Amino acid sequence: MKNGKCSKKFPKQFAEETIMVEDKYPTYRRRRRPEGILSHKGKVWDNAKINQWVVPYNPFLSQKYDCHINVEVCATNKAVKYIYKYVYKGSDMTTIAIEGEEIQANEILQYLPSRYISPVKACMRLFGFPTQGSSHAVVNIPIHLEGMSLVTYRDHATTPQLQNLVRRGDRTKLTAFFNLCTQDPEGTTDLLYKDVPVKYRWDDRLKHWVPYRRYVASLGRLVHVSPQDLERVYLRLLLRHRRSPESFEDIRTVNGVVHDTFHDAALAAGYLENDQEWEECLAEAVSFKMPSALRQLLGIILVYSLPHHASALWDRFKKDLKEIQERDAQNNFDRDEDVSWRMAEYKCLMWLADYLISNGKTLSMYGLPDLDLETYSDVSDEVARQSADPMDIVAQEVAAYEPDDLERTTTLADQMNENQKDIFDQVIKAVNHPVGGQKLFFVEGPGGTGKSFLLEQILAHKGGDSSGFQWHRSDVVDRGHTAHSTFRIPLKLSEFSTYSLSWQSQEAELIRKASLNIWDEAPMMHRACFEAVDRSFRDIMKNELVPFGGKVMVFSGDHRQILPVLKDATRAETLEACASSLPRCGAIYNKCV
């Protein structure tokens, strides 16, 4: 019960027959019974309305297991896709707390993420019962341009080894398909590339397609190609329709004319009329992609492929794009159903609007519904309220800054000594005049010399974004966050690591908008952390030539205290892990004031 109403919307409405509805639970047949009173286990029911309270069930399962089992119809492609995700998503996880006679203060050791195995799953594993099955093997078949096949190699491979890999890389499933059509034209007259795995198996050693000796139920799936890679998109489109091609040139040949590009060939073949390729692209993706991936795919198509009728794509696929949002909106069971649908649609448009804005576009440029339309006037405030708290990181940071902090800073500024005032003035100057000049600062001093006090004055004056390595630094510095949390630094670092943020994420937007970043207790960080953040900042800011993408960075700490902690490391290994020992980071340190 919630607000005096059943969250599952019981009692249900009467219905003379079962009605199957797309994207919703079916409306089951519930007939009105004769008037009267029904008594069962001490409870009295209205016999005429009792069917309104019956939970959908399966008589066979109820009799077999002697218990109540809620059974619903799962017939749509979306429902099957959602269940498929759950089957293959991996083991359940749990967080356990370990407590002995003496509770340790180490929070990292106190809570351990672990794999959870339920009693039912344990029995299935112990007795060897199958937990999943499939009727066909799905074979992914690649798509690449001529001479541009994917080749993987190990580090430190020799030149002869690389040359051999390149030669073998030329023999791909696609080029082998061309050879198959050339060598057996009669047997492959009507063969499409996606149907090759139905009749042939791939011999990885010989690098060609071999007919099945014993039939294996298989299906082929053309790998997904991003709309940003237009030539591969058009090659994929042609391969879906052209039967028995013998070469890349043969695919580009339409009505005896060899075209220069796959786009021209697809256009001449009539496959690019009225945004047909993008409709087919989205329609195919609906069968296996989750709504979040579908929304991103539509965003990429809008930004990079410039469809002629974007509004038609939205109208056709908006139900698939907003599937998850719609389910969330339906949790507001006390609302009218039409309102819940508009809430879901509004959330989806909000996501698309954010994606387009990050790429310099707007909804109106594509003829998509405007977020300010009266259509959504009754749901916009509610959607904003529901999504504001946990999601809008930029708004949270802006709201966290209080103008009163400036007055407090002015009052305490007189307590700073000459060195602190000098650093304070230099940092504020760098923030106010970001073009040119010094942008990297390192504040070093023993404990108790006023480093944290200085950082508080700088933060209160500019309302910047602060990051510290230790969790308790957020208590010492107002509005602080840990570096690993803010920058999403991976726990396992290498010389090529970057943080796990997408360019369009709100965290990335916060980094772009921040005028100042303060990194407290920097000497405790492993040198690879600085490298990872430096690479990521350059990428986010689209500035590869300047350290940290040209952002103003203030590092703080004391090398006399705790250096990077390495398990069983020697003194030399610990010093090598310091940022100042790495050539690239050392250069950054040398540029710091």
Domain-wise residue ranges, the chain:
1-73, 137-145+168-247, 278-391, 398-591
> pLDDT digits over 73-127, tens only?
876 666 777 777 776 776 676 666 655 555 555 555 555 566 778 888 889 889 9
Q: Tell me, what's the pLDDT at 381?
A: 67
Enclosing H/E stretch for 96: strand 92-97
**What distances in angstroms separate CA 54 from CA 2, 14, 40, 274, 330, one per listed residue?**
20, 11, 14, 49, 21
Q: Which residues contact 415 (CB under 8 A, 6 or more apart)?
A: 453
Number of separate helices (H) and strands (E) present in the chain: 26, 15
Topology, domain 398-591: Rossmann fold (3.40.50)
Residue-level pLDDT at 423: 86
Confidence (pLDDT) at 436:
72
- Four-point Cα dihedral 538, 543, 547, 549, nearest 10: -60
Q: Low-confidence residues of the chain, pLDDT below 50? A: 324-326, 329, 333, 388-391, 393, 464-478, 584-587, 590-593
The pLDDT of residue 340: 72
At 267 the pLDDT is 86
Q: pLDDT of 429-439, one tens digit each?
A: 888 887 777 88
**DSSP letters spanning 1-30:** -BTTB-TT-PSPPPBSS-B--TTS--B--B
User: Is the backbone peptide bond immediately before 142 cis, with ω within 30 degrees of 0?
Assistant: no
Q: Could you give the CA distance from residue 21 to residue 41 in angstroms, rounded to a whole number? A: 35
Distance in angstroms (rounded) separating the CA atoms of residues 515 and 553: 9
The dihedral built from the CA positions of residue 123, 126, 128 and 132, taken in this order, carries a sign that is: positive
Residues 530 and 580: their CA atoms lie apart, in Å, by: 10
Q: What is the pLDDT of residue 407?
A: 61
- Note the pLDDT of residue 261: 92
Q: What is the pLDDT of residues 372-423, one digit of tens each?
A: 766 677 676 666 655 544 445 455 555 555 556 556 655 666 778 888 888 8
